[in-house]
Amino acid sequence: VSEPNSPYLRDVLGTIPAYKPGRKVVAPSGRSVKLSSNESPYGPLPSVLEAVAAAAADLNRYPDAAAAELTSALAGRFGVDEDRIALGAGSVGLLQQVLEAVAEPGTEVVYAWRSFEAYPLLVELSGATAVTVPLRGETHDLDALAEAVTDRTRAVFVCNPNNPTGTAVRESELAAFLDRVPEHVLVVLDEAYREYVRDPQVPDGITRFGDRPNVAVLRTFSKAYGLAALRVGFLVARPHIAAAVRKTMVPFAVNHVAQAAAVASLAAEDELLERVATTAKERERVRDALLADGWEVPPTEANFVWLRMGEDTAAFAAAAEDAGVAVRAFPGEGLRISVGAPDENDAFLDVAREFPRRNR
Ligand code: PMP
pLDDT the model gives residue 2: 58
Tell me the residue type at 84.
R
**Which carries the bigger pLDDT value, residue 259 or residue 20?**
259
Asked if the peptide bond before residue 194 counts as cis, ω within 30 degrees of 0, the response is: no
Q: Is 39 in the pocket of ligand 1 (CB under 6 A)?
A: no
Q: Ligand 1 centroid to 21 CA: how many Å?
A: 11
**Which carries the bigger pLDDT value, residue 107 or residue 18?**
107
Query: Tell me: the pLDDT tens digits for 3-41?
Result: 666 889 999 998 888 888 888 999 999 999 999 999 999
pLDDT the model gives residue 150: 98
Q: Which of 167, 190, 300 to mutate to test the pocket of ligand 1 (most atoms within 8 A of CB)?
A: 190
Burial (CB < 10 A; 0-12, 13-18, 19+), residue 330, is middle
Ligand 1 atom showing the smallest separation from residue 37 Cα: 8
Q: Which of 163, 169, 328, 339 to mutate to test the pocket of ligand 1 (most atoms within 8 A of CB)?
A: 163
Ligand 1 atom showing the smallest separation from residue 38 Cα: 8
Average pLDDT, stretch 216-237? 98
Query: Would you report the helix, strand and coil content of the chain in percent, each value rounded to 5?
Result: 40, 15, 40
| Residue 196, strand partner residues | none
Q: Is 162 in the pocket of ligand 1 (CB under 6 A)?
A: no
Q: Is 111 in the pocket of ligand 1 (CB under 6 A)?
A: no
Provide the H-helix boundaries in 256-338. 256-267, 269-292, 313-322
**In the chain, what percentage of residues exceed pLDDT 90?**
94
Q: List, as one string, the DSSP characters of 203-225.
A: --HHHHHTTSTTEEEEEESSSTT
Indicate if the pLDDT at residue 214 is higher than 80. Answer: yes
Q: Is 190 in the pocket of ligand 1 (CB under 6 A)?
A: yes
pLDDT range class, residue 356, cuts 50, 70, 90: confident
Q: Is 163 in the pocket of ligand 1 (CB under 6 A)?
A: yes
Q: What is the CA radius of gyration of the chain?
A: 20
Q: How many CA atoms lie within 13 A of 127 on its CB side?
A: 8
Average pLDDT, stretch 148-158? 98
Nearest C-alpha to atom 6 of ligand 1 is from which residue? 192
Average pLDDT, stretch 299-326? 97
> Taking each helix axis from N to C terminus, what angle separates 256-267 and 46-56, rounded to the nearest 10 degrees?
150
Contact 50/198 with Cβ under 8 angstroms?
Answer: no
User: How far apart are the C-alpha atoms of 131 and 139, rounded to whole Å?
Assistant: 17
User: How far apart are the C-alpha atoms of 41 and 58, rounded to whole Å?
Assistant: 29
User: Model ipTM?
Assistant: 0.99
Q: Is 168 in the pocket of ligand 1 (CB under 6 A)?
A: no
pLDDT the model gives residue 74: 98
Helix (H, G, I), strand (E, B), or coil: what is residue 318?
helix
Indicate if the pLDDT at residue 287 is higher than 70. Answer: yes
Tell me the residue type at 3.
E
pLDDT the model gives residue 17: 84
Using alpha carbons, select from 74, 61, 148, 85 the residue that is nearest to residue 113.
148
Q: Is 222 in the pocket of ligand 1 (CB under 6 A)?
A: yes
pLDDT range class, residue 93, cuts 50, 70, 90: very high
Q: Is 40 in the pocket of ligand 1 (CB under 6 A)?
A: no
Q: Is 228 in the pocket of ligand 1 (CB under 6 A)?
A: yes
pLDDT the model gives residue 360: 57
Q: pTM of the entire structure?
A: 0.97
pLDDT the model gives residue 3: 61
pLDDT the model gives residue 1: 57
Ligand 1 atom showing the smallest separation from residue 222 Cα: 15
Tell me the residue type at 100.
E
Q: Is 38 in the pocket of ligand 1 (CB under 6 A)?
A: yes
User: Cα-flanking dihedrals φ and ψ of residue 227, to 5°?
Assistant: -115, 35
Q: Is 191 in the pocket of ligand 1 (CB under 6 A)?
A: no
Mean pLDDT (the chain, rounded): 96
Q: Which of 119, 160, 223, 330 to mutate to test the pocket of ligand 1 (most atoms within 8 A of CB)?
A: 223
Q: Is 192 in the pocket of ligand 1 (CB under 6 A)?
A: yes
Q: CB atoms < 10 A from the CB of 63, how many?
A: 19
N-term to C-term CA, the chain = 41
DSSP H or E stretch at residue 133: strand 129-134
Q: Ligand 1 centroid to 174 CA: how many Å?
A: 21
Indicate if the pLDDT at residue 358 is higher than 70. Answer: no
Q: Is 344 in the pocket of ligand 1 (CB under 6 A)?
A: no
Ligand 1 atom showing the smallest separation from residue 94 Cα: 14
